[in-house]
Amino acid sequence: MSAELRFDGKVAIVTGAGAGLGRAYAHLLAKRGAKVVVNDLGGSVSGEVKGTSTARPADVVVEEIKKLGGTAVANYDSVENGDKIVKTAVDAFGTVDIVINNAGILRDISMQKMTDNDWDLIMKVHLKGSYAVARAAWNIMREKGYGRIINTSSSAGIFGSFGQANYAAAKLGLHGFTQSLAKEGEKRNIKCNTIAPLAGTRMTETVMPKELVEALRPEYVAPLVAFLVHDTCPENGSLFEVGAGYICKDRFQRSEGVLFTPQDLTVENVSKNWSKIVDFTNGTIPTSNQDMMEKVMKNIEAAASQK
Ligand code: NAD
C-alpha cells in the first residue's frame, strides 16, 4: 500500500466550509494533519444572511473536527473580505499554505428577468471573493515559496446553463483566474487548479431527486481536492470535473484553422472557408496563445514585405 498523503504542518483555509463540499474538504484535510480555517458566513443558498438562534455553521464544523482530534478555527467573514480570513489563519497558525476557494451562492434567473443586483452579487461572492482570499494569501505564499490554491468552477460555466448566465460567467471566469495564477505562481512553487464539482448539497437539493442528492456525497469530491493541494501534486493551471467517484480533466481544443493573407481576408472568403475554420480533424490542444501568435506573425511579416 502507498504511504498516506498527509498535510502535517500545513495551514489550510477552506471558504464556505460550514456545509456541503467545503465541510468535506475541511474534514479530510484536518484528518490528515492540516490546521484548518473553517470560513463560513452562514448565509442562505441565495446569499441572504439573517440572525439565527442556532449555532453558526463554521463553529459546528470546527467542533466536529476537534472531536475527531483535528485542529481548526472558525472565521465568519464574507469571502469578499479575504484579508480578514487570511488574518485568522496567520493569527491562529502563523501562515497559510493552502486556499480552497469554495464559498458560493446562486441567483438563478433567466436573462430577461435578471437584475443588476442578481449579476453583481454573484460576481462579488464567486469572482471577487476568490480573488480577495487568494490576493491576501498570495504574498505570504510567494515569500515562503509554497502555495496551493483551488478555485471552484461549475459545469454551468464550462458548458453554459439555462437561467444561470450570471453564475456561469463567474464560474468560467474563475478558470481564467486559475490559469493566470498558475503562470504567475509557477516560479515560486504556487500551484493553482480549478474543479467543477457535482455533489448533493443544499445547493443542488432543490433541482435533484432525493436519492441522487444522497448518492452524490461531497466526500466523493474531497480526495481530488486534497490531492491537488498536496506537496506532491504536479498539476498546475488545470481544470477537473469531479463527482460521484468520477474524476476527469478538461482542456481546450483549437481547430487547425485557416490563415488568410490580408488580400484574401474578405467576408465572402470567411463564409467560403467556414467548414474548414470549424473543422477539428487536425485540431491541436493549446496551453497558450503561442502557436496562434506564430501563425499570425507570419502573416504580419508577409504583409510588411509587400509594402
Ligand atoms: P452549499 O450551499 O452547501 O455550501 C456553500 C457554503 O458557502 C455555505 O455554507 C454558505 O454559507 C457559504 N457561503 C456563501 N457565501 C459566502 C460568503 N460570501 N462568504 C463565506 N461563505 C459563504 O453549496 P455546495 O454545493 O457545497 O457548493 C460549494 C461550491 O461548489 C460553490 O462554489 C458552488 O457554486 C460549487 N458547485 C457546487 C456544485 C454541486 O453540485 N453542489 C456544482 C457546481 C459547483
Place of cell 493552502: 98
Report, as residue numbers or ranges, the catalytic residues.
Answer: 167
Could you tell me the distance, in angstroms and rounded to a whole number, from the CA of residue 23 to the centre of ligand 1?
10
- Ligand 1 atom nearest the C-alpha of 80 is 18
DSSP string, 94-118: S---EEEE---------GGG--HHH
- Ligand 1 atom nearest the C-alpha of 218 is 26
Quote ipTM for the complex. 0.99
Which 8-state DSSP code applies to residue 294?
H
Distances (CA, A) of 223 to 163, 181, 193, 200: 31, 23, 14, 16
Pairing verdict, β 71-75 and 246-250: unpaired
| Residue 197: Cβ-neighbour burial (10 angstroms; 0-12, 13-18, 19+) | buried
pLDDT digits (tens, 9 = 90+) for 240-255: 999 999 999 999 999 9
Q: 141 versus 307: which is more confidently predicted?
A: 141
pLDDT of residue 53: 63
pLDDT of residue 185: 98
Q: Tell the residue nearest (CA) to atom 31 of ligand 1.
A: 104
pLDDT digits (tens, 9 = 90+) for 47-75: 988 766 678 999 999 999 999 999 999 99
pLDDT digits (tens, 9 = 90+) for 184-225: 999 999 999 999 999 999 999 988 999 999 999 999 999 999
CB of residue 238 inside a 6 A radius of ligand 1: no
SS3 content of the chain, % helix, strand, coil (to 5): 45, 15, 40
CB of residue 38 inside a 6 A radius of ligand 1: no
Residue 1 has pLDDT above 70, yes or no: no
| Three-class DSSP category at 199 | coil
pLDDT of residue 307: 63
What is the Cβ-side half-sphere exposure of residue 64, based on CA atoms within 13 angstroms? 20
**Given ligand 1 and candidates 41, 167, 203, 221, which is best to mutate, with the most ligand atoms within 8 Å of its CB?**
203
Could you tell me the distance, in angstroms and rounded to a whole number, from the CA of residue 204 to the centre of ligand 1?
10
